[in-house]
């Protein structure tokens, strides 16, 4: 029998966990080296992107492949807002940056908010026509739109600096900003998911026609979910830009490859699970760093293997395939990690210990 904890107990546990997380992050920021901290920050940035991505792909059930497009919009928007006018003048060597972007400079928080709003606006513009499609067709349309965004970034020399990209961004995305935004993203997306709005989204995912017969305006709900998801993708883009300190319109940074990385994270974690998205993001960030050794020269016994660049992604793909064979629905499935589940899990462990 499932046992439930009292709501007040759960509130205390949650507050305790938040306090503990802050403490752990503080300790980490003081004791870990910059490399480890960078991975920690990357986990949070990927987390923001993955959680917003699973909101549209897992919870609303829309197969979108355009997430990187919104990340790109966010990255460029905030980068153009945080760079100093002097830096901009130095970077734009082919064509000068258009007014008023060349004189504006804001703080990081404003820039990130603007990045989110701008990405949400684009999500609306792209979602409005393409959400009339479903399934694979929607995937193709959104993939196309995200590629259009990237090509625009490549060619709008006087706005994005084209192929030269933007360099020397201030490294604002420290541990507190990244994990703070991850916290906000999770709180907002979770409360939406467990509201009646979120229930409607899940109903649409399960059976759109039945949902429509329940009185749900399917298109409006999907569009809203798409815009909300776009907002946090933009926020993620802003954090990403100020973590890398440089952005350029290559497919691997803000193009289709990023969408596929995010897809790996959310499918690996469990499509439709917010916990799963974070686990997936953490695994991806850690593994893609840790697996770097396979690209270096290795000595096994008396053999020496020269590293093959790109080998990391091969192993990554293999790991991904194996995981999907073992856990069909990803690590978490559609489940979330809740206090009640942990409590029941601990209760189930106890009697076994007595027997032993």
Residues that bind another protein (CB under 8 A): 2, 196, 199-200, 202-203, 205-207, 209-218, 272, 334
Q: Are strands 298-300 and 303-305 parallel, antiparallel or unpaired?
A: antiparallel
Paired strand residues for 305: 298
Closer residue to another protein, CB minimum distance, 22 or 337:
337
Alpha helices per DSSP H over 156-174: 157-160
CB 334 → another protein: shortest distance, Å?
Answer: 6
Closer residue to another protein, CB minimum distance, 239 or 331:
331
CB 337 → another protein: shortest distance, Å?
Answer: 17
223-226 own/partner pairs: CB under 8 Å, 24+ apart: 223/124, 223/127, 223/128, 223/131, 224/197, 225/55, 225/56, 225/59, 225/60, 225/62, 225/201, 226/56, 226/60, 226/62, 226/64, 226/123, 226/124, 226/126, 226/127, 226/131
Closer residue to another protein, CB minimum distance, 114 or 266:
266
Closer residue to another protein, CB minimum distance, 49 or 267:
267
Closest residue by Cα to residue 149 from 230, 231, 70, 92: 70
CB 272 → another protein: shortest distance, Å?
Answer: 8
CB 352 → another protein: shortest distance, Å?
Answer: 25
Closer residue to another protein, CB minimum distance, 199 or 292:
199
CB 28 → another protein: shortest distance, Å?
Answer: 37
Closest residue by Cα to residue 255 from 133, 75, 111, 120: 75
């Amino acid at each position: 029998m499932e046992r439930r904890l009292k709501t007040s107990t759960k509130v205390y546990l949650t507050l305790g966990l938040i306090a503990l997380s802050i403490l752990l992050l503080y300790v980490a920021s003081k004791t870990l080296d910059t490399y480890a901290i960078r991975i920690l920050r990357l986990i949070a940035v990927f987390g923001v992107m993955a959680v917003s991505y699973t909101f549209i792909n897992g919870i609303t059930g829309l197969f979108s492949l355009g997430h990187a497009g919104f990340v790109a919009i966010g990255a460029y928007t905030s980068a153009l807002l945080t760079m100093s006018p002097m830096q901009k003048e130095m970077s734009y060597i082919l064509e000068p940056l258009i007014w008023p972007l060349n004189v504006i400079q804001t703080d990081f928080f404003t820039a990130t908010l603007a990045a989110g709003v701008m990405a949400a606006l684009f999500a609306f513009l792209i979602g409005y026509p393409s959400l009339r499609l479903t399934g694979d067709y929607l995937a193709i349309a959104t993939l196309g739109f995200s590629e259009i965004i990237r090509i625009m970034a490549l060619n709008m020399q006087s706005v994005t600096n084209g192929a030269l990209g933007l360099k020397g961004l201030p490294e604002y995305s420290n541990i507190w900003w990244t994990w703070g935004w991850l916290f906000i993203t999770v709180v907002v997306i979770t409360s939406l998911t467990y509201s009646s709005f979120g229930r409607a989204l899940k109903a649409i995912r399960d059976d759109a026609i039945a949902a429509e017969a329940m009185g749900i305006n399917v298109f409006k709900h999907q569009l809203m979910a798409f815009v909300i998801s776009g907002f946090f993708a933009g926020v993620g883009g802003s954090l990403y830009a100020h973590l890398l300190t440089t952005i350029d319109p290559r497919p691997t940074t803000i193009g289709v490859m990023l969408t596929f990385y995010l897809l790996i994270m959310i499918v690996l974690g469990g499509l439709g699970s917010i916990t799963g998205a974070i686990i997936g993001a953490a695994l991806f960030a850690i593994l893609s760093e840790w697996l770097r050794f396979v690209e270096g020269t290795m000595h096994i016994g008396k053999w020496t293997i020269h590293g093959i660049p790109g080998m990391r992604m091969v192993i990554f793909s293999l790991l991904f395939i194996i995981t999907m064979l073992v856990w069909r629905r990803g690590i978490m499935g559609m489940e979330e990690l809740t206090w009640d589940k942990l409590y029941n899990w601990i209760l189930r462990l106890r009697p076994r210990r007595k027997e032993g």
